[in-house]
Amino acid sequence: ISVRKVILHHMVMTLKNPFTTSFGTFLDKEFFVIEMEDETGASGFGESVAFSSPWYSEETVETNKHIMGQFLIPLLLESPIEHPDEVSIRFKPIRRNNMAKSALENAVWDLYAKRNNNPLYKELGGVKQQIDVGISIGIQPTAKDLVHVIEEFVNEGYKRMKVKIKPGADYEMLKEVRRHFPDILLMADANSAYTLDDLDTLKKLDELNLMMIEQPLAHDDIIDHAKLQSVLATPICLDESIHSIEDARKAIELGSCKIINIKIGRVGGITESKKIHDYCSQQGIAVWCGGMLESGIGRAHNIALTTLPQFILPGDTASSSRYWEKDIIEPEVFVEKGVIHVPNKPGIGYDVNRQVLESFRVDKTVFSK
Ligand code: OSB
Ligand code: MG
């Protein structure tokens, strides 16, 4: 594969509903669609998942543009590669900036699968024709609102409800949810809103039969999470703390978590995601695929990854209509009775709707050899 041209489509899409986490509220999503062409005229698409502000991690849309444009794209254009696994090796001299790396690597994976006339999920060794899907629900003003929203998604068939929590919007709200829905698969995501000083609150959550609690403590911690897991019955799932297979190994060895949320962007690409998947499979650690409020392009990569066998828990790959009035892919992602039927077309399996893409595009930068 000789990459000849990389186009960064700078996008701004308005979310259908504001999405509130412990660290802030998202009203829209700003990101890059990466379009890549090779010497044969084949093309591939990727999506950068960093947000406009460095709330979830240190990367932003602007840092992604800087790192891709100044460092990563020149490395890709420099000389051909044989396989997408070589992209992360080529990017190794650049420290971290995993979301920038991943956006480009994902486009290479799509391009590579299309050249081979093979669906991406098969290229990755995926084994599932359909995947189970849960939904992530932002912090609501009241418990009553939350119960309402959950009822709607239960009726739509989503297989697992994930509720965002923060101090003051946690135990009482979840207790109310549990009272209304004694049997649903329910979990909480704190996005690092607690410390070990909140042990009493966190321990009370054990009453609620949660599938897991995601990232209760600091975004860069695995030590305190191990302490917490040793006194908590509820499994801890790590999100923010895991950036690589090495992080996963250390967290598992320490007992910091029993489950890992794999986000392709956070770990620097599909190649690293597969490594973490394989390691967790050997260790008997369940994984699931997280989301970053992606458009359909990022979502398509998530769907392909989720077909790997150790993705045994429902992921955050909700329908396009959960996020957008109109998505930029065709067909849109559609969750039916809690499952997505994985498309069998070459590459990511969905077509990019050029007209819609251009309607949400605010800028375009072209890099070529
Ligand atoms: O922690 O998983 C997270 C959204 C924004 C930032 C962080 C997270 C989330 C979600 C939503 O939970 C996942 C999605 O529906 O894409
Ligand atoms: Mg999370």
User: Facing residues of 131 across strands?
Assistant: 340
Of the bound ligands, which one is closest to the alpha carbon of residue 242? 2
Q: How far apart are the C-alpha atoms of 256 and 324, rounded to whole Å?
A: 35
Q: How many CB atoms within 10 Å of residue 82? A: 8
- Cβ-proximal residues to 197 (8 Å cutoff; 6+ apart), any chain: none
189 assigned ligand-binding residue: yes
d(CA 223, CA 255): 9
Distance 3 CA to ligand 1 centre (A): 32
Residue 318, pLDDT score = 98
Of the candidates 162, 164, 274, 275, the residue annotated as catalytic is 164
Once rounded to an integer, what is the mean pLDDT over residues 17-36? 97
DSSP letter at 117 equals T
Q: Where are the alpha helices (DSSP H) in 116-244?
A: 120-123, 143-156, 171-180, 199-204, 223-231
pLDDT of residue 195: 98
φ, ψ of residue 136 in degrees (nearest 5) = -105, 125
Q: Is 162 a catalytic residue?
A: no
> Whole-prediction pTM value?
0.98
Q: Is 290 in the pocket of ligand 1 (CB under 6 A)?
A: yes
The atom of ligand 1 lying closest to the CA of 162 is 12
Position 160 scores a pLDDT of 98
Residue located nearest, by CA, to atom 7 of ligand 1? 292
Give the mean model confidence (pLDDT) for residues 20-48.
Answer: 97
Interval between CA 78 and ligand 1 midpoint (Å)? 35
Which of 25, 60, 136, 137 is the best mutation target for the ligand 1 pocket, counting ligand atoms within 8 Å of the beta carbon and taking the most?
A: 136
The atom number, within ligand 1, closest to the CA of 299 reads 16
Closest atom of ligand 1 to CA, residue 215:
1
| 213 C-alpha to ligand 2 centroid (Å) | 9
Residue 136: Cβ within 10 Å count:
23
For this structure, is 164 an active site residue? yes
- Which ligand is in closest contact with the Cα of 212? 2
The pLDDT value recorded for residue 127 is: 97
Give the active site residue among 263, 274, 345, 364. Answer: 263
Q: What is the pLDDT averaged over residues 185-189? A: 98
- Report percent pLDDT > 70 for the chain: 100
Q: What is the pLDDT of residue 30?
A: 98
Please provide the average confidence, as pLDDT, over all residues in the chain: 98
pLDDT at 250: 98
Rounded CA gap, 7 and 365, in Å?
Answer: 6
* Complex ipTM over 0.90: yes
What confidence score (pLDDT) does residue 276 get?
98
- For 228-273, how does the pLDDT look when each residue is reduced to its tens digit (9 = 90+)? 999 999 999 999 999 999 999 999 999 999 999 999 999 999 999 9
Mind listing the pLDDT tens digit for each residue in 320-340? 999 999 999 999 999 999 999
The pLDDT score that the predictor gives to residue 109 is: 98
Give the integer Cα–Cα distance in Å for 257 and 282: 15
Q: Is 316 near ligand 1, meaning CB less than 6 Å away?
A: yes
54 C-alpha to center of ligand 2: Å?
15
* 239 marked among binding-site residues: yes
- Res 285: pLDDT: 98
Residue 46, token pair as written in the block = 């990727």
Which atom, in ligand 1's list, is nearest to the CA of 263?
2
All domains in the chain, ordered by first residue? 3-117+352-368 (3.30.390.10), 122-351 (3.20.20.120)
Ligand nearest the Cα atom of residue 260: 2
pLDDT the model gives residue 112: 98
State if residue 153 touches ligand 1 by the CB under 6 angstroms criterion. no
293 CB within 6 A, ligand 1: yes
